[in-house]
Amino acid sequence: MIRPLPSLGLLDRVFRVLFPGVLFLLLNGCASVSYYNQLASGQLQLLRAREPVSSVVADPARDQKLRTHLEQSQKARTFASQQLHLPDNQSYRLYADIGRPFVVWNVFVTPEFSLKPVNHCFPIAGCVAYRGYYSQSAARGEAALQRLQGMDVSIGGVEAYSTLGWFNDPIISSMMGWGDERLATLIFHELAHQRFYAKDDTEFNESFATFVEQEGTRQWRAYRHLPPDNNAHARQRDQFTELVLETRARLEKLYALPLPTEQMRQRKAAEFERLRSEYRQMRDRQWAGDKRYDAWIHAPMNNARLLPFGLYDQWVPAFSVLFHQMHGNWPQFYAAVEQLGALPMDERKAALKALADGADQPKNQ
């Protein structure tokens, strides 16, 4: 049953009342006042921009393409709760036009000779491998400061994020450029974060949400009597990701060596050139010259640009095995995920590895 829509202004008022106390706690952790101010103001602006999807769809003065797109999104949103057993709340039954291509820009930072990210810790979300900014200029400013300190830095735009159920998250205008199915997958992914979130474990959280997104999309297509998606672009993405992960593995071995700084820089640059060369071979021999990743591969390269790879899919095979162990029963699967998430970090990773190793075994074993 869909709960009645609360006053949108109510959450805004609660946010304004609670935030000074939250900010005080954050600042006691040696955080930057200006950084958390921009987080608070950015989130508040997003809350204020929300309006019910039903109101947009019913308004003949609004863009017809937008109305149709949002109308289709609500079918996927209902499916998410009724069939995938994801939270049934007002999240993604609201719409917010933010007038920019991304809702936030994440800044990733690593030392020059390390693939270990500079983590940032928050009371709600725990520790993550980036800092988010609602302004692209602010993200660029932070990136410039980090570069002055000799760090490797990368900036990535983000279309959507989850407040983990603290607020009713809207469909954002930045999510609207990918077609009906892509929007459905984003909704499944973000609602999965509301369903379960393990503090301080980005790989676990993103892999879990990615599995829910992928399996949810497969079931969504079957529900609509569509054939399985034989997506060549997805296969290319997986191949490209594997290529980057292989480069990361080589760099990790390189950075463990006791080499002089200049020699280390030369060997590092050589690894990135090897990545570009192997990419071109794969593109021309296996992808018929498809250049979708050319812009990324030929941009200036550093450690921080490699960080997002693997974060979103490292444990997807493990969650796939777990889902099949639960015979495709979503509530039982979520209960098993919660049990995994409650384990100490080392035990959790060992359990995930055991599950992932099971995915590689022949089916008749």
Rounded CA-CA distance 220/228 in Å is: 10
Mean pLDDT over 210-230 rounds to: 93
Q: What is the pLDDT of residues 113-122, one digit of tens each?
A: 999 999 888 7
pLDDT of 258-270, one tens digit each? Answer: 999 999 999 999 9
Mean pLDDT score across all residues of the chain: 89
16 band by pLDDT with thresholds 50, 70 and 90: very low
- Spatial distance between the Cα atoms of 352 and 361, rounded to a whole number of angstroms: 15
With a pLDDT cut of 70, the percent of the chain lying above it is 89
pTM: 0.85
What pLDDT is attached to residue 156? 94
Which structure tokens are listed for 325?
């162990």
- CA-CA distance, 345 to 307, in Å (whole number)? 20
Using CA atoms, how far apart are residues 104 and 360, in angstroms rounded to an integer?
A: 37
pLDDT band at 124 (very low <50, low <70, confident <90, very high): low
* Residues pairing with 95 in the sheet: 51, 171
pLDDT bin (cut points 50, 70, 90) of residue 291 is very high
DSSP H or E segment with residue 346: helix 345-359
CB 14 within 8 A of CB 57: no
Q: What is the DSSP string of 97-126?
A: --SSS-SEEEEEEE-TT------EEETTTE
Task: Give the pLDDT confidence score for residue 32 in this predicted structure.
Answer: 73
Please tell me the predicted confidence (pLDDT) of residue 362: 53
Residue from 77, 319, 326 nearest 209 by CA: 319
Condensed to tens digits (0 to 9), the pLDDT of residues 21-49 reads 444 444 444 447 788 889 989 999 999 99
> What pLDDT shows up at residue 29?
43
Q: Hey, what are 130's tokens?
A: 């980036």
Residue 301: both structure tokens together: 């390269």
Radius of gyration for the alpha carbons in the chain, expressed in angstroms and rounded: 22
Instruction: Pick the closest to residue 135 from 104, 162, 99 (CA basis).
Output: 104
